[in-house]
Amino acid sequence: MFELVLQAPESLVESVSDALMEELDALSVSVEDSDADTDAEKALFGEPGMPAPSAGWQRSTLKALFESEAAASEAATLLLAQDWATQPGASVSMTALHEVAEQDWVRLTQSQFDPVEITPTFWIVPTWHEPPAAATRLIRLDPGMAFGTGTHPTTRMCLGWIAAHEADIRGRRVLDYGCGSGILAIGAALHGGAPIDAVDIDPAAIATTAQNAADNGVTLRSGAPDMASGEYPLVLANILATPLKMLAPLLCGHVAQGGHLVLAGILDRQADELKAAYAPWIALEVSNTVDGWILMTGRKPG
């Protein structure tokens, strides 16, 4: 296969990408930040409650794959001859056209997901790996359409909390709010939590959670957020700071008196905003930090 590499300003990223895919026979197009790893790097966020992210960065690198060198070269020629792609001050440029080696994509993807150790006996293990001998509690999980493979620090910190609080979880109701792959709900079930409700706004996450629970031999209910009902001795929510602030009254309303609230998806610098948002109901504190992400926990007075 052949890769055509182009640079485009933010205003042209979507048009170039559409033209490559729809008119110029590209097999795939990826967009990266041309300023990645420099001081000019700019994150694109898509948090609920925030404006939608733009299609590209201020300066984007587009990488398009073609079946042949002729197709890639023709695409570049046609694209660079378009008026709209060559405006003064906002034009597309070509930086490379080269052959790329065939890859075993399945093996490459699999090699990026190793078993994750939460404690010496509690592991997340992809189905293509042998579980470690010491793993007595095991979540079998493959990367899929929903967030939560156990590799992200926020997920790992929540699972670490679950492992350290088995006595508080065993035999008690648990709510996993923003369940993604269902990894936290499954982790809580493996530590004796029951019954367990796992909710998400994303239908793919609801379905994935049900499937992952079945694959792990765990019983739980998964559904839309309005499925959560009443009070739970443990509420887990690994979302992001902005939605977590908006959800403060709702989440605190679901925590039973004396119950635990465990929040993740929060950056170090957001700790004070979160404390303030939850203060009317629960005094949050930072109970763990990994790679700039924090785990915030608190108990409802009871």
Ligand X SMILES: C[S@@+](CC[C@H](N)C(=O)[O-])C[C@H]1O[C@@H](n2cnc3c(N)ncnc32)[C@H](O)[C@@H]1O
**Residues of each annotated binding site for S-adenosyl-L-methionine:** 155, 178, 200, 238
CB 126 within 8 A of CB 148: no
What 3 state SS string does 149-162 have?
Answer: CCCCHHHHHHHHHH
Residue type, 47: E
Query: Which among 24-32, 93-101, 147-155, 227-235 is the span making contact with ligand X, rule CB under 6 A?
Result: 147-155
Q: Does 184 contact ligand X by CB under 6 A?
A: yes
Which of 34, 149 has the CB closer to ligand X? 149
Query: Smallest distance, Å, CB 178 to ligand X?
Result: 3
- 205 binds ligand X, rule: CB under 6 A: yes
Give the gyration radius of the chain's Cα atoms: 23
Minimum gap (Å) between residue 208 Cβ and ligand X:
9
Q: Minimal distance in Å, beta carbon 179 to ligand X?
A: 5
Among 144, 153, 223, 243, binds ligand X (CB under 6 A): 243
Of 155, 212, 216, 270, the one binding ligand X (CB under 6 A) is: 155
Figure out which of the listed residues 195, 225, 249, 258 binds ligand X, where binding follows CB under 6 A.
Answer: 225
179 binds ligand X, rule: CB under 6 A: yes
Site string for ligand X, 72-111 (x = CB under 6 A): ----------------------------------------
Q: Compute how many residues bind ligand X; rule: CB under 6 A.
A: 22
CB of 144 to ligand X, least distance (A): 11
Q: Does 143 bind ligand X (CB under 6 A)?
A: no
Can residue 270 be called a binding residue for ligand X (CB under 6 A)? Answer: no
Residue 148 DSSP SS3: coil
Window 29 to 68, contacts with ligand X (CB under 6 A): 48
The C-alpha atoms of residue 116 and residue 49 are separated, in whole angstroms, by: 32
Of all helices (H) and strands (E), which one includes residue 123? strand 122-125
Residue type, 188: A
**What is the length of the chain?**
302
Q: Are 97 and 5 in contact (CB under 8 A)?
A: yes
Give the type of residue at 298.
G
Separation of alpha carbons 116 and 45, rounded Å: 27
What number of CA atoms fall less than 13 Å from residue 3's CA on the CB side? 14
Three-class DSSP category at 299? strand
Q: How many CB atoms lie within 10 A of CB 222?
A: 23
**DSSP 3-state of 9:** strand
Structure tokens at 218: 């765990």
In contact, 29 and 63? CB cutoff 8 Å: yes
Give yes or no for residue 265 binding ligand X (CB under 6 A). Answer: yes
Q: Which of 100, 201, 214, 279 binds ligand X (CB under 6 A)?
A: 201
Q: Which is nearer to ligand X, 225 or 230 (CB)?
A: 225
CB of 57 to ligand X, least distance (A): 22
- Rule CB under 6 A: say whether 202 interacts with ligand X: yes
Q: Which is nearer to ligand X, 44 or 90 (CB)?
A: 44
Q: Find the shortest distance in angstroms from Cβ 206 to ligand X.
A: 9
In angstroms, how far is CA 181 from the centroid of its own chain?
A: 10
Where along the sequence are the contacts to ligand X (CB under 6 A)?
A: 48, 146-148, 155, 158, 177-180, 183-184, 200-202, 205, 225, 238-239, 243, 247, 265
